[in-house]
Amino acid sequence: MGVLFSGGISSLLLARILQQERADVTYYCIGTERSPDLQTAQTAAHALGLRLTTHTPTKEHIETALKTIPNLISDTNPAKVSAGLITYLGSELAARDANIVLMTGSGANEAFGGHQRNKNDPTGIMQDCHSNLLKHYETSAYRDDVLAMRHGLELRVPYLDTRVTRTALLHTPGNATRHQDKHLLHIAADLLGIPRTLHAVKQRAPHYGSGTDRVFETLAKNAGQTKAGYLRTQRKEPNTPLAVLLSTGKDSLYAAYTIQQLNYELRCAVTLRSENPHSYMFHTPAIELAALQAHSMGLAHVVRTSTGAKEDELQDLKEALRIARDTHGCQGIVTGAIASTYQRDRIEAIADALGLKIYAPLWHIDQEEELRGLLRAGFRVILTAIAADGTRPQLARQTAHGRRRHKPFDPEQAQRHQHLQAKAENTKASS
């Protein structure tokens, strides 16, 4: 049996447990020369006495893999393909040793709160972990299974065992911390006697820590392309056709833009016209502009009016999405949700009932960074109201865009906003 091994907490725990079971295992690490993961894995393997095989792929080897992976997984999302490089190259390496099973630490981030956004908001970690686990098949599991099977290997993912995920969801919230991701796994590592000098090492996602993503970026740049553009030359077919929940606001439009940059096809926009100006679910200001926005993007437009009653509007949304699915062939929906678990949980429930995938590319994005990203991308933003610290009242109804010389944020107000935000976070932590 083989195990993909980076020396991080997830693979360290697997290694220690397999040692205790006296399993005959070879560990495999993929990394470019002097990459952090390669060095960390070698240090950990030496300290624990593991049989480690490493491989440093050439630029040509990675280029060949990037031509193969998109067609195997029927997807040209750069994030998916880049992460899949490690599984593909690791499976190839393990297959040479006549392994028939490959084990990975996939799912540990989702189950135990290993993503950066979990550290940003530890109070909502259980909902995030549950949501991430529900989407794991779409984001990672299917891809990794296909890539392992390409080399004749069966994939094993112990962190996705139902007993493990149930334990994680029960106990991760009470052990969440801003200072250490997957804190519960670090507690387990201490109990199993793994030296803290090993499991406390901070690591990035494998495709970053291995250095393969940097090679991917270089190949794309040399071809005069973005990573998304580079992958489009390898597979012409667009990714999953999607509908975007369009409210006319910056979040839904930036989410639509972001998902298109990942090579997904937008087929239609879905807009709910709520008669309740205080709707729990839907944006209401300037909603009449949605038709113009959809038209300018070349999208079919599904519109449904709702009374805005708290739960009735969910049924209205479900019917609108049913039309998007049945009439326009959409297989998933894009939402601009950033921090509202109320919205996200209900949209996920509706999507699940309709058999639709859900994409929330802005979830837990830093909101100031989102604004700057909009300007960098060339958006022209009309400020319809002022309701937040960090903005001047005089900016109402003005247009902000990347070519303006004035700063759209008042530095003193922005500092005050940061102070209030820190105060609110401290209050949350102490309650």
Distance (Å, rounded) from C-alpha 332 to C-alpha 78?
18
Tokens coding 308: 């805005």
Of 10-14, 22-26, 327-331, 395-399, the least confident = 395-399
Burial of 170 (0-12, 13-18, 19+ CB in 10 A): exposed
Q: Do residues 341 and 281 lie in contact, with contact meaning Cβ atoms separated by under 8 Å?
A: no
Reported as a single tens digit per residue, the pLDDT across 15-33 is 999 999 999 999 999 999 9
pTM value?
Answer: 0.76
Mean pLDDT of 350-364: 90
How remote is the C-alpha of 334 from its chain's centroid?
Answer: 13
Classify 50 as helix, strand or coil. Answer: coil
Mean pLDDT of 294-322: 89
Mean pLDDT of 344-373: 88
Mean pLDDT of 157-182: 77
Polymer length in residues for the chain: 431
Q: Do residues 41 and 17 lie in contact, with contact meaning Cβ atoms separated by under 8 Å?
A: no
Confidence at 405, pLDDT banded by 50, 70, 90 = very low
Distance (Å, rounded) from C-alpha 170 to C-alpha 131?
14
What is the structure's pLDDT at 182?
81
Q: Do residues 37 and 60 lie in contact, with contact meaning Cβ atoms separated by under 8 Å?
A: no
Class at the top of the CATH hierarchy for domain 2-222: alpha beta
Q: At 272, which helix (H) or strand (E)? A: strand 265-274
- Ranges of CATH 3.40.50.620 domains, the chain: 2-222, 238-359
Query: How many CB atoms neighbour CB 96 within 10 A?
Result: 13
Of 210, 206, 211, residue with least CA distance to 11: 206
Reported as a single tens digit per residue, the pLDDT across 112-166 is 876 655 555 555 667 778 888 888 888 899 999 999 999 999 999 999 999 999 8
* Alpha helices, DSSP H, located in 49-161: 59-73, 78-96, 108-112, 116-120, 125-136, 142-149
Burial of 101 (0-12, 13-18, 19+ CB in 10 A): middle
Reported as a single tens digit per residue, the pLDDT across 60-108 is 999 999 999 999 999 999 999 999 999 999 999 999 999 999 999 999 9
Query: How many CB atoms neighbour CB 99 within 10 A?
Result: 21
Whether the predicted pLDDT of 255 surpasses 50? yes
Q: Which long-range contacts (CB under 8 A, 24 or more apart) does 382-385 make?
A: 384/285, 384/286, 385/285
Whether the predicted pLDDT of 193 surpasses 90? yes
User: Cβ neighbours of residue 431 under 8 Å, at least 6 residues apart?
Assistant: none
Taking 3-state DSSP, the helix, strand and coil percentages for the chain, each rounded to the nearest 5, stand at 55, 10, 35
What is the structure's pLDDT at 283?
76
CATH architecture of 238-359: 3-Layer(aba) Sandwich (3.40)
Confidence at 367, pLDDT banded by 50, 70, 90 = confident
